[in-house]
Amino acid sequence: MQTDPQLQLRKQALLLKIQAQRQLWHLQTEQFRSEHKLADMAQRVIGQAGEAFKKRPLAIGLGVLTLAILKPGRALRLAQAGLQAWRLWQDLSASRTDQHPPR
């Protein structure tokens, strides 16, 4: 059974048209995807914050309360002091076991 040459030409023309439409669609959606990456990232961060709040509601609530009571500058200085104290604690613990903590 032989196929009609006109049908083969029509099929090739349609396949080329489909390929061109797919390329155009890809270009148009690429711009859309790049514009919405920031929104996706923000949604992911908010979701992670929600999960963290579910796991440790008291700690996070106290942190927010601290920020509300203290001014943000003071809270930042307090957090920096806490981080320095934690690093000192880690260094002292590592020196007792002669291991260095990963940084």
pLDDT in tens, the chain (103 residues): 457 889 999 999 999 999 999 999 998 888 778 778 877 888 888 888 888 778 888 887 887 787 788 777 877 788 889 889 988 988 888 877 765 555 5
**DSSP H or E stretch at residue 41:** helix 37-55
Give the pTM.
Answer: 0.35
Q: Could you count the other beta carbons within 10 Å of the beta carbon of residue 54?
A: 9
Residue 1: its pLDDT value, please?
46
Residue 7: its pLDDT value, please?
92
d(CA 80, CA 58): 21
Asked if residues 60 and 53 have their Cβ atoms less than 8 Å apart, the reply is yes
Residue 70: its pLDDT value, please?
76
**Signed CA dihedral, 54, 59, 65, 66: sign only:** negative
